[in-house]
């Protein structure tokens, strides 16, 4: 008993000794008032003084709040800028090539992305709208076409697509190009995934419990790789056509019955069935019985016009 008391006393002394206490990593929090229901935050130097400021997307007040840093990690009162309906995601990067960081905002209740160009001092011009193809959940800015300016990639859950808007070089954007994703894409990220020095896309799909990977073909055209397509290679995957009944069944289902199954458009190019994952072609096929006959003939009976992988290699 006496020994137990001594051990307990020693343990208590060790625990109360300051030299054994865990040092805190953070000071107590400091709160800064933003708008109504903040949804997303991003940090970047917005006023050119080499410290990182904050921008917050406010879902219910339909605006973004900009907080300029006092250099010491405290911030001036926010300045609000109007954007679209229910902004869900904000990204800050130089969009117009003037070396200051601008803003791109995805709007959950609008069909357009809001772009706010920096005046050079941390204030922003009124937002400009660019149609994205549906209500947006997430936006990411990165160079997608290799011209050293930042383009936009937007996840659109209500349409099950990703929209890509290429930068014209001055902070204005071309018409959106849409690529299929999974069910209800909710978050998007871009980085080089296949080592070819071009930025690819990864998309988290809330509704289908998977991730879609879209590999960049080198000119901001993307090949969508469905997570599971049996032994049918939709381009860039490890498995290719083996010309059996399951491939034909998948083609009929994916192309004619349920196009949302994960297949890109079928194109007719110089009498060749071009299944090249979104690469441009002059004449788009009208999906009808004659097209199905052509596909069966080209793929299973006389496969002289085989389907290439996205990198141009043979698919057998």
The per-residue pLDDT for range 251-295, each reduced to its tens digit, is 555 555 554 444 444 433 323 333 433 443 344 444 445 555 555
- Which pLDDT belongs to residue 251? 55
- Judge whether 309 lies within some domain: no
- Judge whether 7 lies within some domain: no
Percent of the chain with pLDDT over 90: 53
Query: 184: phi > 0 → left, psi -120 to 50 → alpha, else beta; which?
Result: left
259 shares its domain with 210 = no
Domain boundary among 214, 230, 257: 214
81 with 116: CB under 8 angstroms?
yes
154 shares its domain with 278 = no
- Judge whether 175 lies within some domain: yes
Residue 182, CB-side half-sphere exposure with 13 Å CA sphere = 22
C-alpha 97 chain-centroid distance: 22
Looking at per-residue pLDDT, the higher value among 73 and 20 belongs to 73
Residue-number span of the structural domain to which 119 is assigned: 38-214
- For residue 2, give every residue at least 6 positions away whose Cβ sits within 8 Å of its Cβ, in sequence order, or none: none
C-alpha 170 chain-centroid distance: 22
251 shares its domain with 108 = no
206 shares its domain with 277 = no
60 shares its domain with 182 = yes
66 shares its domain with 206 = yes
- The C-alpha atoms of residue 175 and residue 173 are separated, in whole angstroms, by 7
Q: How many domains does the chain have?
A: 2
Q: Find, among 84, 115, 83, 112, the residue nearest to 102 by Cα.
A: 115
- The C-alpha atoms of residue 247 and residue 281 are separated, in whole angstroms, by 24
**Sole residue written with tokens 């109360």:** 16
**Sole residue written with tokens 């072609």:** 281
- Judge whether 123 lies within some domain: yes
Mean pLDDT for the stretch of residues 219-240: 45
79 shares its domain with 160 = yes
120 shares its domain with 198 = yes
251 shares its domain with 192 = no
What is the three-class DSSP state of 19? helix
Mean pLDDT for the stretch of residues 173-188: 92
Average the pLDDT over each of 29-33, 195-199, 265-269 and give the range with the smallest value.
Answer: 265-269
291 shares its domain with 207 = no
- Judge whether 57 lies within some domain: yes
- Judge whether 96 lies within some domain: yes
- Which pLDDT belongs to residue 286? 42
Mean pLDDT for the stretch of residues 7-35: 73
Report the range out of 172-176, 212-216, 243-247 with the highest average pLDDT. 172-176
194 shares its domain with 82 = yes
Average the pLDDT over each of 95-99, 144-148, 209-213, 232-236 and give the range with the smallest value.
Answer: 232-236
Give the tokens for residue 187: 């978050």
- The C-alpha atoms of residue 94 and residue 286 are separated, in whole angstroms, by 42
- Which pLDDT belongs to residue 252? 58
Residue 254 is classified by DSSP as I
- Judge whether 18 lies within some domain: no
Sign of CA dihedral 212, 215, 221, 224: negative
- The C-alpha atoms of residue 168 and residue 65 are separated, in whole angstroms, by 27
Looking at per-residue pLDDT, the higher value among 219 and 64 belongs to 64
| CATH number assigned to the domain comprising residue 210 | 2.130.10.130
- Which pLDDT belongs to residue 34? 97
Label each residue of 183-198 as H, E or C: CCEEEEEEECCCCCCC
- Share in percent of the chain as helix, strand, coil (round to 5): 15, 30, 55
89 shares its domain with 145 = yes
């Amino acid at each position: 008993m006496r020994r137990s008391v001594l051990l307990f006393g020693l343990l208590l002394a060790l625990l109360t000794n300051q030299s054994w206490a865990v040092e805190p990593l953070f000071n107590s929090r400091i709160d800064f008032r933003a708008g109504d229901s903040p949804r997303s935050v991003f940090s970047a130097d917005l006023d050119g003084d080499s410290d990182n400021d904050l921008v917050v997307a406010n879902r219910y007040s339909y605006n973004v709040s900009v907080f300029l840093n006092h250099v010491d990690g405290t911030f001036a009162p926010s300045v609000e800028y109007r954007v679209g309906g229910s902004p869900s995601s904000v990204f800050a990067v130089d969009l117009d090539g003037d070396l200051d960081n601008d803003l791109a905002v995805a709007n959950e209740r609008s069909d357009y992305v809001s772009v706010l160009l920096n005046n050079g001092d941390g204030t922003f011009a009124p937002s400009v709208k660019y149609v994205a193809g549906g209500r947006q959940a997430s936006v990411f800015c990165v160079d997608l076409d290799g011209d050293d300016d930042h383009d936009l990639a937007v996840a659109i859950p209500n349409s099950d697509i990703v929209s890509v808007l290429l930068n014209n070089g001055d902070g204005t954007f071309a018409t959106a190009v849409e690529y299929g994703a999974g069910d209800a894409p909710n978050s998007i990220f871009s980085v080089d995934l296949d080592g070819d020095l071009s930025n690819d896309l990864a998309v988290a799909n809330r509704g289908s419990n998977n991730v879609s990977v879209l590999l960049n073909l080198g000119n901001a055209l993307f090949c969508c790789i469905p997570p599971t397509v049996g032994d049918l290679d939709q381009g860039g995957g490890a498995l290719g056509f083996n010309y059996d009944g399951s491939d034909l069944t998948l083609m009929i289902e994916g192309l004619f019955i349920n196009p949302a199954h994960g297949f890109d458009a079928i194109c007719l190019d110089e009498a060749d069935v071009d299944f090249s994952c979104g690469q441009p072609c002059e004449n788009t096929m009208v999906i009808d019985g004659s097209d199905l006959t052509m596909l069966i003939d080209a793929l299973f009976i006389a496969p002289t016009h085989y389907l290439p992988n996205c990198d141009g290699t043979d698919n057998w």
